[in-house]
Amino acid sequence: MEDAAGALPKKVDFSEWYNELLWRAEIMDVRYPVKGLYVWFPYGFAIRTFVYQRLRELLDKDHQETLFPLLIPEQEFMKEAEHIKGFENEVYWVTHGGTTPLDVKLALRPTSETAIYPMYALWLRSHADLPLKLYQIVNTFRYETKQTRPLIRLREITSFMESHTVHATWEEAEQQVESEIALTRQFYERLCIPIIISRRPDWDKFPGADYTIAIDAIMPNGKTLQIGTVHHLGVHFSKTFSIMYEDKNGEQKLANQTCYGISERCIAALISIHGDDKGLILPPVAAPVQAIIVPITIGKRHEDVMAAAEHLKNDLTAAGFRVKLDTRDMRPGAKYYWWELRGVPLRLELGPRDLDAGNVMAVKRTGEKTSIELAAAADGVTRVLKEITDTIRTAAEQHTQHNLCTAPSIDALNGALNDGKVAVVHWCQNKGCAEVIEEKTSSSILGTDVRSPYVSESEGVCVVCGKPGKATLVGRTY
Ligand code: A5A
Ligand code: ZN
């Protein structure tokens, strides 16, 4: 695919920047002729592979992977009242097989509780079967009515990781919620994405949950993006689907459950938070190409330089790095631009002078140059990639810290939101006051019990009614 002409829009114009970047860096093609459905370019898909590998590594420590069907019979889907209410306007239905109307309509899963739990009811017999912790990474379908956006709001979520766990007691399920939160922290830590954890207000929890913990990230324009949720389901679904176990005393008990989800929004956050005016900046852990070797050959040293570049590539590949050698017939400057746009963390420039000195020039995508000894190239690359990861993480943390503030009044909140910030206010947890806050500032209450290194929880008075309030996160959200 050839380069689009002209410069990338500046990142301060976030929407344009994001859309252009998805196209130019070959992440998603948005031209698929169904609204809310997008196509992964191979390069974008490779990023997805590395990101989800990290997620799988973490899950596989104490979950097992599984795979359930896409289609859910209507009567199962319709069993849990709150769940139906939450999803009925978002479900796609399959009504025909060929030209024959189906006896039982089939839902395309918007999420898989009602596919998985009838089977859990069959599988679960005794306390010895608990805890049960399964996950799957699948596509799900939601007929979203808000504006759709690639990787952010999809009608086909292509990369939905959903974990579904079963426990004996409510407390054990609560511990599992904490353990899924810890897992999510580690995942986003590896991707250098700072997160804010909070407890969603009751009216905003997952349909059929006792409570919902949400994980949010702050995007460059100051809007928040919910990039994961963990739900304590209590016994809502086990009642409906008869998920029972025999306890140690031979009594039949209802099981307690949790579920937890992450979608390709994690990649939207990765791209958006780290990128700059030149394009993507990928942390090495997520980069399909971690180092690109660009040979600088002039005149008669061509053969020498190419041989050394090939040698360097083999060394680094053997050491486990994802490396490419760019031998295309293009000016070096054009190659630099190409790989910068695609976010490759490290460029290794090798010319006759470097070769004579036994070095290669390492240029970080985050902006510095340093020299690496060819004889110890793998060590040098390890060191420099680590520095790049640290720089990316620090920049992202600074962005998050800068975009979080405390607002003592509705006016201050409005000012903060208009400045592209997310704010902590005090709120009494009364729905009426939440509506006033949300209406007066066109924002959303994200949650209470905020967990972020940049938010110190404190008591205060509600910005609407003056009664005692809890520290509450408020933002404009995708
Ligand atoms: N069964 C539980 C896990 C569930 O479905 N939870 S959820 O509805 O909150 O979705 C989990 C996560 O998927 C959300 O936190 C959000 O990050 C992501 N998500 C939800 N709808 C999405 C959409 N239309 N496009 C992309 N991501 C979405
Ligand atoms: Zn109040």
Distance 341 CA to ligand 1 centre (A): 29
Do 152 and 264 lie in one domain? The reply is yes
In a domain, 399, yes or no: no
From the CB of 259, is ligand 1 less than 6 Å away? yes
Do 40 and 170 lie in one domain? The reply is yes
pLDDT at residue 6 is higher than 80: no
Please state the atom number of ligand 1 nearest to the C-alpha of residue 110. Answer: 5
CATH number of the domain that residue 460 is part of = 3.30.110.30
Do 333 and 431 lie in one domain? The reply is no
Percentage of the chain exceeding pLDDT 90? 95
Predicted pLDDT at 2: 44
Distance 431 CA to ligand 2 centre (A): 8
State how many domains the chain has: 3
pTM higher than the cut 0.85? yes
Do 379 and 464 lie in one domain? The reply is no
The token pair at 444 is 């959303």
In a domain, 348, yes or no: yes
Please state the atom number of ligand 1 nearest to the C-alpha of residue 261. Answer: 3
From the CB of 260, is ligand 1 less than 6 Å away? yes
Contact 194, 272 (CB under 8 A): no
Q: Which of 2-16, 57-71, 315-329 has the lowest mean pLDDT?
A: 2-16
Q: Helices 42-59 and 170-190 sit at what angle, rounded to 10 degrees?
A: 140
pLDDT at residue 420 is higher than 60: yes
pLDDT in tens, 244-300: 999 999 999 999 999 999 999 999 999 999 999 999 999 999 999 999 999 998 778
Task: Single out the residue in 239, 274, 309 at which a domain terminates.
Answer: 274
DSSP classification of residue 37: -
Do 45 and 81 lie in one domain? The reply is yes
Do 130 and 212 lie in one domain? The reply is yes
Task: Single out the residue in 274, 297, 329 at which a domain terminates.
Answer: 274
Q: Write out the H or E segment, with its range, that includes residue 446.
A: strand 444-451
Do 124 and 219 lie in one domain? The reply is yes
pLDDT in tens, 126-168: 999 999 999 999 999 999 999 999 999 999 999 999 999 999 9
- Residues 73-91: b if buried by 16+ CB within 10 A, e if exposed: bbebbebbeebeebbeeeb
pLDDT at residue 4 is higher than 70: no
In a domain, 305, yes or no: yes
Domain span including residue 128 = 14-274
Distance 437 CA to ligand 2 centre (A): 9
CATH number of the domain that residue 189 is part of = 3.30.930.10
Q: Please report how many Cα atoms fall inside a 13 Å half-sphere around the Cα of residue 449, on the Cβ side.
A: 10
In a domain, 358, yes or no: yes
Please state the atom number of ligand 1 nearest to the C-alpha of residue 259. Answer: 3
The token pair at 113 is 């509780």
Do 77 and 120 lie in one domain? The reply is yes
Do 298 and 255 lie in one domain? The reply is no
The token pair at 146 is 């808000």
How is 57-109 classified by DSSP, letter by letter?
Answer: HHHTTT-EE----SEEEHHHHTSSHHHHHHHGGG--EEEEETTEEEEEEEEEP
CATH number of the domain that residue 311 is part of = 3.40.50.800
- Residues 378-403: b if buried by 16+ CB within 10 A, e if exposed: bebbbebbebbbebbbebbeebbeeb
In a domain, 7, yes or no: no
Distance 459 CA to ligand 2 centre (A): 13
Do 224 and 303 lie in one domain? The reply is no
The token pair at 57 is 């590594």
**Is the dihedral angle over the CA atoms 134, 136, 140, 142 positive or is it negative?**
positive
The type of residue at 122 is L
The token pair at 429 is 């947890």
Mean pLDDT, the chain, whole residue set: 96
Do 259 and 329 lie in one domain? The reply is no
Nearest protein Cα to ligand 1, atom 26: 153
Nearest protein Cα to ligand 1, atom 17: 227
Predicted pLDDT at 5: 59
pLDDT in tens, 79-93: 988 888 899 999 999
Contact 205, 232 (CB under 8 A): no
In a domain, 398, yes or no: no
From the CB of 162, is ligand 1 less than 6 Å away? yes
Do 55 and 127 lie in one domain? The reply is yes
In a domain, 395, yes or no: no
Residue 1: which pLDDT band, with cuts at 50, 70 and 90?
very low
CB-neighbour burial class of residue 96 (10 A; exposed 0-12, middle 13-18, buried 19+): exposed
Contacts with 302 (C-beta within 8 Å, 6 or more apart), sequence order: none
Nearest to 277 by CA among 478, 2, 473, 25: 25
